Chains A and B, each alone.
Chain A
Amino acid sequence: MKRLIALPFRKSLEIAFQSIRVRFFRSLVTTTSLVLAVAFLCYMQACNDFAQALLNSGDINSYQVLVKAGYDVSFGTDVIASSAKQRWIVTLSLLVCIVGIINAQLMSVTERFREIGTMKCLGALDRFIVRLFVLEALMQGLAGSLAGALLGVLSATISSAFTLGISIFSSFPWLALVSSMLLSVIVGTSLSLIGVIYPAILAARMQPVEAMRLEH
């Protein structure tokens, strides 16, 4: 292949990272909505994990403690699942979050029209542009969801210690918490990626002339 245009993966990673670093404050705002949504999701999961752990501990008083704390348990219950209401609220918060991400990414694309047009004039292919935006979203998504997951688990630990008592520390559900965090990170990163698809395609499809014609 004589006519090859390339952008090595490492270089794209570098450019994407630099883009985030330079626009750190803006990225932070975009990521904050994700952090909050993921933290909420993780908080719900982790609270249930603590309740489940308490239930599994086999303590006679655990039923009373759980009922008092508002969990829907009775004698004979052995699995604590999230309630329909909880699921609704989490879904809604994730939906709001994804709309927020799309909005922020669209603005960031508009802001960078000229930059994208310039890159295309220098020979960038559509997929380079998509790749840069997706990588940026991936980094933001990972960082944001990790922060959110940690925040969620931390707040769940504190609030559970108050509602369920310090006995939760004697049967600390490490494994369940880690898997809840993992789930939250996966969900958060996917949200970030889903949110960037449309803006990235919009950016990549743009003709360089159009990008140049726009005045700032």
Chain B
Amino acid sequence: MTEKTIVRVSGVTKNFDLGKIVVEVLKGIDLEIEEGKYLSIMGPSGSGKSTLFNMIGGLDKPTSGKVFIDEVDIAQLDAYELAWLRCRKIGYIFQTFNLIPVMTALENVTLPMTFAGMSNDDAVTHGMTLLKQVGLEGRHSHKPTELSGGQQQRVAVARALANSPAIILADEPTGNLDLKTGEDIIDLLKELSSERKVTVISATHDYKMLNVSDQVIWIRDGKVEKIQERSELEITTGGLE
């Protein structure tokens, strides 16, 4: 049985018009991402990986080319459908955590459930389960400022899982964390992706990510340089050591 393709990127380019000059950030990207994979987009800073990431997440529109999520062209969606997509299909994790500072951990986790129309009681029950799953039992009433970076990112992971999305997009999830905490978050993501069959796509330049990735996409100068499967990876990393 062939795996289902969940994200398809075809011929995507993106230019940023800076007035006098036009910067080509993405120069034609083609990708197919299979369901349930743990995938890393690697590349040096400025290579366009964050831009590509934003395209996949429906946060930005490509200059040309198309992005399909579940075979739906996201450029064709109206504001409501796009909001629905962001709410139900995709869970976002950011480098800077981006928790809502005025809300407690639990409220941060339940907010997307409220948007999805879940009743308050159900959302609280589900939110507590998720917080427990990411190892933050008993911290639900804490505000983001009362939590450490790693704990905040755990809340963000729980929030990303709130509506059981098909895809989790993580933009440098370990970028603001120390080595150990970063590893914990990576393990947590990996565990959740295999447990829940969620596709995890993370943009990163953290080499720790490689060990858990099923597939690594290398981006350089706005193009896909190479796509490596896990089996090929172990040889390369072994060679480096």
Contacts and interface: CB of A to CB of B under 8 A. Distances in A.
Contacts of B141: none
A22 B57 CA distance: 31
A126 B83 CA distance: 9
A21 to B, nearest CB: 8
A123 B112 contact: yes
B79 interface: yes
A207 B60 contact: yes
B102 A125 contact: no
A3 B80 contact: yes
B114 A212 contact: no
A212 B59 contact: yes
Given A3-B84, A123-B87, A209-B59, A8 B103 contact: no
Nearest to B118: A6
A148 B84 CA distance: 43
B102 A11 contact: no
B144 to A, nearest CB: 11
B101 A115 contact: yes
A122 B112 contact: yes
Interface residues of B, number: 29
B54 interface: yes
Interface in A113-149: 114-115, 117-126, 128
Interface string B31-59: 00000000000000000000000100101
Contacts of A128: 115
Indicate the member of B57, B80, B83, B94 with the most A CB atoms within 10 Å.
B83
B100 A119 contact: yes
Contacts of B98: 114, 117-118, 121, 212
A31 B101 CA distance: 22
Contact of A121 (B88, B92, B101, B114): B92
Interface in A1-49: 3-8, 11, 15, 18-19, 22-23
Nearest to A6: B117
29 contacts: A3-B81, A5-B80, A5-B87, A6-B116, A6-B117, A7-B114, A8-B114, A11-B120, A15-B103, A18-B102, A18-B103, A22-B101, A115-B100, A117-B98, A118-B100, A119-B100, A121-B57, A122-B111, A122-B112, A122-B115, A123-B83, A123-B87, A123-B88, A124-B83, A124-B115, A125-B80, A207-B59, A209-B60, A212-B59
Interface of A: 3-8, 11, 15, 18-19, 22-23, 114-115, 117-126, 128, 207-209, 212
Interface of B: 54, 57, 59-60, 79-81, 83-84, 86-88, 92, 94, 96, 98-103, 111-112, 114-117, 120, 159
